Amino acid sequence: MDIKTASALHRLRLVSVPEALSFPALLIFGSLLSRISDINLVMPLGALHGILFVLYVVFLLDVWNRAKWPAKKVALFFLLALVPFGGLYGDRVLKRDEADSVVAARARAEAAA
């Protein structure tokens, strides 16, 4: 795996957890607080979630382009972004893939030496 692919995967991992947590926060805090009090957090939390979701999709498309993922895997990660807390599972999968690629790179480096 080259450095650009690894950094694209890392960017996707970095945005997946905040995106996964922003949607439930919008549903729980934004909706609930606006109904039971005068505090209205729907607009700021909605904007934050929207920005994180767009970043997630852009980074996912970048990973698809660089890592040559099959369309099924990209569709799975997109669906995980639509499910509350789905990005947490996606982060775990990406973390495992990242660790596997590091081990494979070290093995190739040792074989070459």
Other CB atoms within a 10 A radius of the CB of residue 51 amount to: 14
Q: What is the pLDDT of residues 21-43, one digit of tens each?
A: 998 988 888 888 878 877 788 88
Q: So what's the pLDDT on residue 100? A: 76
Tell me the average pLDDT of the chain: 88
Q: So what's the pLDDT on residue 109? A: 77
DSSP states of 31-91? IHHHHHSS---HHHHHHHHHHHHHHHHHHHHHHHHHH---HHHHHHHHHHHHSTTHHHHHH
Q: So what's the pLDDT on residue 36? A: 83
Place of tokens 């947490």: 88
Could you tell me the pTM of the whole model?
Answer: 0.84
CA distance 6 to 101: 9
CA distance 86 to 42: 21
Residue numbers in the chain where pLDDT is lower than 70? none
